[in-house]
Amino acid sequence: MTDLVHIHNHGAVGHISLNRPKAIHSLTLDMCEAMTAALLAWRDDDAVQAVILDHAEGRGFCAGGDVTLLRKSGLDDGGESGRHFFDVEYKLNHLMFTYPKPVVAFMDGITMGGGVGISQPAKHRVATENTKFAMPETGIGLICDVGGGWYLSRLDGRLGRFLGLTGARLDGAECLAAGLATHYLSAESLAEAKARIVADPAGIEAALADLSTPAPDARILRNRGRIDTLFASDRFEDILAALEADGGDWAGKELKTLRSKSPSACKYVLKQLELGAACKNFADNMAMELRGASRAITRHDFAEGVRALLVDKDNNPQWQPATPEEVSDEMVDSLFAPLPPEHEWKPL
């Protein structure tokens, strides 16, 4: 067991609290394994009726996965240790998605990447005024994994494509409006919410409804028409052309954002969401994402994106290929091709 996750029982409620504040609780292999072990034990324990998932301290719920480890894997062992990390992490995501007992995820603060993967499967997803939700993987040459192919492709209109391509950050009110959160509470009421859940695990919905506060206007709704129109195509080049042709301030800002992302990763994500939308169940989606993610970390743009963002921190990635036109359909399709049978993802 790792001290990077606090695992407790409070009467009939299991409690998982992420405890890696210096890394905004980014998930390590040990953390994923510890969470999985706890959830499996509680799943089969009739005395446990519900699970709370939160973070111990600091400014974020969970900023993602350990991408420096994944970069090292792609450079040093052909992605083997990275594929193992994804395999374990995705088993945790799927376990939560199919969990028979209610899980309450408190998305208080930064909720990105891997943090999305452990909050979106929860039956109850609580956002606050501190919530900052994003899937920013196109900025590091990766796909929107941990279930993004399933969740993003099922949002209304073209919102999922917009979020997946741009890495746009949503606040708590926007998460509620988009359906990514089920409740909006003030951060100061979270301790009371958790206490009520512990006192009466059968009354979770009533407790959260009682403590919910009206959310501010969701800014994302003002741009829904633009998003649905300008991100209507599944061809990245068409989206860029539509934004350029629009000429407005909002379109110009989003065009500049997309021009800074990995062209390869943007095309990967569009394909991922197309494949995810066609998946009949979450397990099929996760198998697809393991193929994509385990290959993406061995390609140039992932190592380069993490270098520019987290290693050298020069924020000047040199993408290869440098333009969308140079990213062929063959490059995209090969990312999601079947793996050798012994490497294909399977649920627990």
- Residues annotated as catalytic are 65, 114, 137, 145
Residue 290: CB atoms within 10 A of its CB come to 22
Specify whether the CB–CB gap between 137 and 269 falls below 8 A.
Answer: yes
Residue type, 148: G
Q: What are the Cα distances from residue 278, in Å, to 52, 97, 236, 271, 272?
A: 31, 18, 19, 11, 10
Distance CA 57, CA 106 (A): 12
**Which token pair is 15?**
């409690």
Angle at 347 between CA 341 and CA 348, to 5 degrees: 115
CB-based contacts of 223: which residues, under 8 Å, 6+ apart? Answer: 250
Angle at 149 between CA 183 and CA 133, to 5 degrees: 40
Specify whether the CB–CB gap between 156 and 281 falls below 8 A.
Answer: no
